[in-house]
Amino acid sequence: MNFNLWEKTFIEESFQGNQEGFHYIEGDLPILLSAPHSVTQQRNGKEKQGEFLTGPIVMHLQQQLNCHAIFKTNNLMDDANYDSKSTYRDYIKRKIEDHSINFLLDFHIMAPSRPYNIDLGTGRGKNIRHTQGPLIVNHIRKTLLDHGINDVLIDHIFTAGYPHTVSADVSKSCNIFCLQIEMNWKLLKDLSDSPYFAKILDAMKAVIHYLASMEDQS
């Protein structure tokens, strides 16, 4: 996948999504990847720059592993990770029920000024509704560390604790494991020169395989 080209597609909002401003890709694994900020969004009347690379990342992982995926394609003056009502989140809930999805990973990008690399948001434990929820989160953190990505924290700042985040809302409504993955932009910029971008992709592939194996064991 040409990530630079696809990032441009999300910046320009030239991806042909549906009238709701997002696109869904059906998969086989009971895992859904989400990028609610893959285009510019509107929060409290103010425009917020999109986390454009989250869209291509979710697309790539879906193509590689055949999990489910959803991402924003157009700014409809909304914020799917903040607004009290969201067609994006409502659609996710329907698909989770339709396809018996048991895990949701919600991807975000934080500012490069943050002094750490990844923040795994569990809603301080409320959103990881699984009998082995804490074990799974710790395994995901270890997987990232094992792939050479240091400074991986849990519920440091971006906890996904606000009730209208994708993770909090979907977890509560569908009673499944939801995890917000906040990646530092400094790991992703200058893709051709970044030593971390490929590591993140490989780590996330390993995480998805692990979640699929958890499902096989249940």
d(CA 62, CA 66): 5
Please report which residue ranges of the chain form alpha helices under DSSP H.
3-12, 54-65, 87-99, 133-146, 166-174, 197-217
Q: How many residues are listed for the chain in this entry?
A: 218
Sign of CA dihedral 215, 26, 147, 140: negative
d(CA 181, CA 199): 15
Instruction: Find the helix or strand (DSSP H, E) in which 155 lies.
Output: none
Residue 16 has a pLDDT of 78
Domain ranges of the chain: 3-217
Residue 13 has a pLDDT of 95
Residue 191 has a pLDDT of 76
Question: What token pair was written down for 208?
Answer: 């998805």
Residue 215 has a pLDDT of 65
Per-residue pLDDT tens for 20-79?
A: 899 999 999 999 999 999 999 999 889 999 999 999 999 999 999 999 999 999 999 999
- Assess contact for 208 and 139: CB atoms under 8 A: no
Which residues of the chain are under the pLDDT cut of 50?
218
Q: Please give the model's pTM, rounded to 2 decimal places.
A: 0.96
Those residues whose C-beta lies under 8 Å from the C-beta of residue 81, and which sit 6 or more positions away, are: 36, 37, 41, 106, 108, 164, 165, 166
Q: Does the domain made of 3-217 have the CATH classification 3.50.50.60? A: no
Q: What angle do CA 184, 189, 194 make, to 5 degrees?
A: 100
The residue to which tokens 């194996």 are assigned: 213
Residue 214 has a pLDDT of 83
d(CA 7, CA 14): 10
